[in-house]
Amino acid sequence: MCGRFVRKVSPKEMAEFFDVVVTESPARYNIAPSQPVAAVRIRPHEGNRELVNLRWGLIPFWADDPKIGYKLINARAETAATKPSFRSAFKSRRCLIPATGFYEWQKLDPKHKQPFHIGLKDGQSFAFAGLWDEWHDPEGEVIESCAVLTTDANELMRPIHNRMPVILPREEYGQWLDPSLQDQEALQRLLRPFPPEGMAAYPVSTFVNAPRNEGPQCVEKVA
């Protein structure tokens, strides 16, 4: 799964890497569900890329209660195309969620877990494969929200957790974002574990456990 991540990318880097207009990109070290996350998508009805803030926790357009979003922070790559909560978004509302790392907790014993920071070995930015949706309540409020797709863990992740977020290679960003691409098999082929040799993981302190904690201390390596 993916329940917390890091994004520390300058506006210039964000603009160049994701081909979008960026005015600001404040560093975040402990992004948690229900918080706004930066996402890149194709602008509806216009066809160009845009950077938007989406609430993390997807609320399907048909939902009666927006609280369903708290349960839908992740979408399993194997079932997202057919599961009612995600299938409409999978078909034509796909997005990229920029990141520089994510956290996962390794179970040590029934009472203790060790948090790990995981990212690319070269320290570069990357993007999770995401889905987004737009929900309207009877009073006219509009909430745009998102979920991160997950897949089986690769060899690096397996000792830590059995799932990991889908990290897309840069050359596949265009395919994933293209709303005209609706071939389910072609899209599923993009949702594979990232090569373990290109990734690195290290333990961090339990400071990151509390979503209210922010700052570089979250990503500091511990013995």
According to DSSP, the residues that pair with 114 across neighbouring strands are: 106
The residue annotated as part of the active site, out of 50, 78, 104, 155, is 104
The residue annotated as part of the active site, out of 2, 95, 146, 218, is 2
Q: Is 104 a catalytic residue?
A: yes
Q: Is 2 a catalytic residue?
A: yes
Q: Which residues are catalytic?
A: 2, 104
